[in-house]
Amino acid sequence: YLNPRMSDKKMNGISKINGTEGKAPFLIGVSGGTASGKSTVCKRIMEKLGQVDMDQAQRQVICISQDSFYRELTPTEISKAEKGQFNFDHPDAFNETLLLETLQDILAGKIVQIPTYDYRHHSLNKDEFLTIYPADVVLFEGILVFYFPEIRKLFHMKLFVDTDSDTRLARRVPRDINERGRDLEQVLNQYMNFVKPAFEEFCFPTKKFADVIIPRGADNTVAIDLIVQHIREILLNKGRKSEERTLVLPSPAFVRTP
């Protein structure tokens, strides 16, 4: 039995791996409006499963953000973005094809590399990739992860983080100013012109596709505990299955029927 993570290390971390059937992860989509607490919900889930203080390659549960799949902007679009006049909340802002192909590769148990996103420059970090190793559970979070039908149907479980819009705005303003290098006027203009209308048109309607709706986001420890419990059962079953695969069966004469 070849541990896929080991085989990847031997292959220098970039190549896709073969022979990983059965390693298809349980794919969980986590959506919700901007600053609803999607990343914090994912972080809590990973903490409760003891996955945080662990080497990336050894994790059984990993988290990916849809922001890694923003498409590259043209110079004109970048100058619009710098004035808060580009719509980052519209489905067209994303590279849907790359998103779909990457999730399909992940579901096929392949090692993939995804870019990281730079909010200050509105661009993908070309030299900073995250290597995603095969895991048992993959959390995929973003404002529009349930919007594209072909992508939506890939999820085994869909969560929607449902936080009041005033709470979300109150979180988003200081975050954009302190962490994303924006000024107040730009943040509020972008919010009123693009973020809020796009949430109502594209994100909120996808709530109906969710299996579980989490009111109040990461504060909702009861909901998070229930989800964690469910993931634990999945991990346990996956563990059992892989033990079955590696079991060397005795010759038929020794097999006892129950």
Q: Which residues of this protein are in contact with ligand CTP, per CB under 6 A? A: 32, 34-40, 65, 67, 70, 81, 88-89, 119, 122, 141, 143, 195
The DSSP letter of residue 72 is: P
Q: How far is the CB of 67 from ligand CTP (least distance, A)?
A: 6
Q: How far is the CB of 34 from ligand CTP (least distance, A)?
A: 3
CB of 87 to ligand CTP, least distance (A): 8
Of the two residues 27 and 63, which places its CB atom closer to ligand CTP in the complex? 63
Q: Which is nearer to ligand CTP, 59 or 182 (CB)?
A: 182
Tell me whether residue 117 or residue 209 sits nearer to ligand CTP (CB atom).
Answer: 117
64 SS3 class: strand
To ligand CTP, the closest distance from the beta carbon of 247 in angstroms equals 41
Q: Enter the DSSP assignment of 190.
A: H
The string of DSSP codes covering 97-160 is HHHHHHHHHHHTT--EEEEEEETTTTEEEEEEEEEE---SEEEEE-TTTTTSHHHHTT-SEEEE
57 with 133: CB under 8 angstroms? yes
Give whichever of 141 and 162 is closer to ligand CTP, judged by the CB atom: 141
- Name residue, tokens 């973003």: 142
**How far apart are alpha carbons 5 and 18 in whole angstroms?**
12
Residues forming a β-bridge with 131: 113
Q: How far is the CB of 156 from ligand CTP (least distance, A)?
A: 21
Amino acid at 16: K
**CA–CA gap between residue 42 and residue 29 (Å, rounded):** 10
Shortest Å distance, C-beta 131 to ligand CTP: 20
Choose among 30, 47, 40: nearest CA to 140: 30
Closest to ligand CTP by CB, 86 vs 133, is 86
Q: How far is the CB of 217 from ligand CTP (least distance, A)?
A: 7
DSSP conformation class of 213: E
Q: Which is nearer to ligand CTP, 20 or 51 (CB)?
A: 51
- By C-beta, is 6 or 184 nearer to ligand CTP? 184
Kindly tell me the sign of the dihedral angle through the C-alpha atoms of 70, 115, 175, 225.
Answer: positive
